[in-house]
Amino acid sequence: MRAILLGGTGAIGGATALLLAKSGWTVEVTGRDQSRMPQELSDLDVRFHRIDRSDTRGVEHLIGEGSDLLVDLLAYSAPHVRALLPAMTSTDNFVLISGRAVYVDDFGRHVNGDEPPSFTAPIREGGPTLPPASDDVNPFSREGYAPGKVAAEQVALDSGLPVTVLRPSKVHGQWARNARTSSIVDRILSGNQSIELARADTIDHLTAASNASALIKTVAQRPGRRILNAADPDTPTAEEIVGAIAAHLAWEGQITRVEGDPDRGSHPWLTPMVLDSTSALELGYQPVGNGLDLMTEEVQWLLSKKSDR
């Protein structure tokens, strides 16, 4: 079995490459900077190809006569996917990584908007989303990111090919480009004996890269046309997340709740939002573990980076 991951050196891509390689797959990943290739992947004979996502001819050449699985972690717009369609026809199963940012609440509010959304129940895949962006919208802007993802999803699903769209929540894991736990880890390691938290009871759903990779492996064995939420089975509060990091680092300080002052207690888990992963479970997906337990993978990776300096 051959898998190609476009952008396979980050958290989800790296975890997927690791899992598939350990399961006997031939795995190849693309990227622009080989220095970001995790040594753990090289040790498992995962091959790195210096190919930019926009180099569609390079991607087509890499796929060659075909692959069993193509995972695209770098598509942010309809043109991105449209340019890849010829290559997609040479793969048996295509997985597009989207994100929870596409969802809107009952009033059309979303996570990248000026007014925070209010989701009153776990969100299923059929929930309302933002309208798709036109081709001239910048998908790398705050306002263009989510509509660009919606447009990318639509082009992929409308292709008639076996496409699975995955919508993860807040991703955590080793090799994360934006390791959200780093702010808490830094505060603890700097000797702070108190960490202030605003809205400490907020449940801002997490997605462990290890769990996302397990879902991708499940999908790889069951090609189809679908959208799946990808989130951890547990729904910890912000205070529980910080508490788990603190426990892993044997920190004996105090978590202090603060209310009413927007300049105090900021942290990365402030958006109340839970994804319903029933559809993934019905497909046969089994989570690797709870998010709170798997969060140690990111924390340990951050510690190893600090020790290497």
Report the CATH number at residue 211: 3.40.50.720
Does residue 297 belong to any structural domain of this protein?
Answer: no
Question: Tokens 């509010």 — which residue?
Answer: 109
How is residue 36 written in tokens?
């970001």
Q: What is the mean pLDDT of residues 195-203?
A: 96
Instruction: Provide the residue type at 24 as one letter.
Output: G
Does residue 133 belong to any structural domain of this protein?
Answer: yes
Position 307 scores a pLDDT of 81
* φ and ψ of 204, to 5 deg: -115, 95
Q: What is the mean pLDDT of residues 244-268?
A: 93
Total count of domains within the chain: 1
Banded model confidence at residue 182, pLDDT cuts 50, 70, 90 = very high
Banded model confidence at residue 93, pLDDT cuts 50, 70, 90 = very high
**H/E element, 229:** strand 226-230
Banded model confidence at residue 97, pLDDT cuts 50, 70, 90 = very high
Does residue 158 belong to any structural domain of this protein?
Answer: yes
Does residue 202 belong to any structural domain of this protein?
Answer: no
The proportion of the chain whose per-residue pLDDT surpasses 70, expressed as a percent, equals 99
Position 304 scores a pLDDT of 94
CB burial string 35-64: b at 16+ within 10 A, e below: eebbeebeeeebebbebebeebebbeebbe
Does residue 303 belong to any structural domain of this protein?
Answer: no
Position 135 scores a pLDDT of 98
Nearest-angstrom CA–CA distance, 127 and 217? 25
Position 308 scores a pLDDT of 77
Question: Tokens 């492996």 — which residue?
Answer: 217
Does residue 53 belong to any structural domain of this protein?
Answer: yes
Position 289 scores a pLDDT of 98
Domain of residue 63 covers 2-176+207-233+274-288
Q: What is the DSSP letter of 32?
A: S
Dihedral sign for Cα atoms in the order 23, 27, 31, 33: positive
Position 126 scores a pLDDT of 97
Nearest-angstrom CA–CA distance, 180 and 224? 33
Question: Tokens 């989510």 — which residue?
Answer: 146
Q: What is the DSSP letter of 273?
A: B
Nearest-angstrom CA–CA distance, 68 and 219? 11
Q: Which long-range contacts (CB under 8 A, 24 or more apart) does 128-131 make?
A: 128/103, 128/104, 129/102, 129/103, 129/104, 130/102, 130/104
Does residue 73 belong to any structural domain of this protein?
Answer: yes
Average pLDDT of the chain? Answer: 96
Q: What is the mean pLDDT of residues 125-148?
A: 97
Q: Number of helices and strands (H, E) in the chain?
A: 10, 11
Nearest-angstrom CA–CA distance, 88 and 162? 9
Instruction: Provide the residue type at 161 as one letter.
Output: L
Residue 169 burial (CB count, 10 A): 26
Does residue 247 belong to any structural domain of this protein?
Answer: no
